[in-house]
Structure 1
């Protein structure tokens, strides 16, 4: 049972990465269309800018909520790397509790805002803004689940990995 859950999780993680890559590819293609129309055809179009902005918003929030690993998150490495596993566990627990509380508190207000924004539409494509901002709800729920998991891991005695500057890279 546990192995099949791990396999399902790995499969879903790969599909989330695939979706992120598709969004990035679509944003790049739309950007190229915008350049061709503006500078080669001397006919600026606005929908390409609108799609690029929406895709960027979705890329950032979807990626942060479902693709980014805990070890890839931004930290104060000078402090974090200088302490042992016990203080790292405490930092992870405090951070997890604080973020879960903040996201849970903000979730109802953000859901109301997203629902309210169905009355507004984007300028060119007339996409309802609740569709544009709906990704925040998914991001917040993903972040809540992630930080609950990290907090419970810290409580069970699992310290987050220490930062190893010899293995730092650009993600490639």
Structure 2
């Protein structure tokens, strides 16, 4: 059963990476289209900028919520790397509790805001703003689940892995 769940989780993680890559490709294509129309054809168009901004927002929040792994997150490596496993566990617990509380407290207000924004639409494509901002809700729920899990594993005695600057990479 665990092997089956692991396989499903791995498959879902790969599909999330595929979605992120498609969004990045779409943003790049629209950006190139914007350059061609503005500087080659001398016909500036606004919808390309709008799509780029919406895709950037979705790229960042979707990527942080569903693709980015814990070891790839930004942290204060100088402090984090200078302490032992016990203090790293304590730091992970404190961070987890703080972030779960902040995201949980902000979630109802943000849900109300997203629901309220259905009355506004983007300038060119008339996309309802609740669709644009809905990704925050998915991000916040994913972050709550992630930090609940990280806090739970730290409480159970597993310290987050130590950062090794000699093995730093781009996440690949």
- Cα distance in 2 for residues equivalent to 1:38 and 1:171: 35
RMSD of Structure 2 on Structure 1 (CA): 0.6
Work out the number of aligned pairs and report it: 172
Unaligned runs of 5+ in 1: none
Q: TM-score, normalised by structure 2?
A: 0.99
Aligned to 2:158: 158
The residue number in structure 1 matching 2:64 is 64
1:170 Cα deviation after fit: 3.2
What 5-or-longer segments of structure 2 have no aligned partner? Answer: none
Distance 1:90 1:66 in 2: 25
TM-score for both structures, normalised by structure 1: 0.99
1:123-145 superposed Cα distances (whole Å, 9 cap, x missing partner): 00000000000000000000000
Structure 1 residue ranges (4+ consecutive) displaced by more than 3 angstroms after TM superposition = none
Q: Write out aligned runs for 1:100-139 (5 A).
A: 100-139=100-139
Residue 168 (structure 1) shift: 1.2
Q: Distance in 2 between matches of 1:153 and 1:117?
A: 37
Does the alignment pair 1:43 with 2:43? yes
Distance in 1 of aligned mates of 2:168 and 2:129: 39
1:22 alignment partner in structure 2? 22
Offset from partner CA, 1:101-124 (integer Å, 9 cap, x none):
000000000000000000000000
Q: Which residue of 2 aligns with 1:2?
A: 2
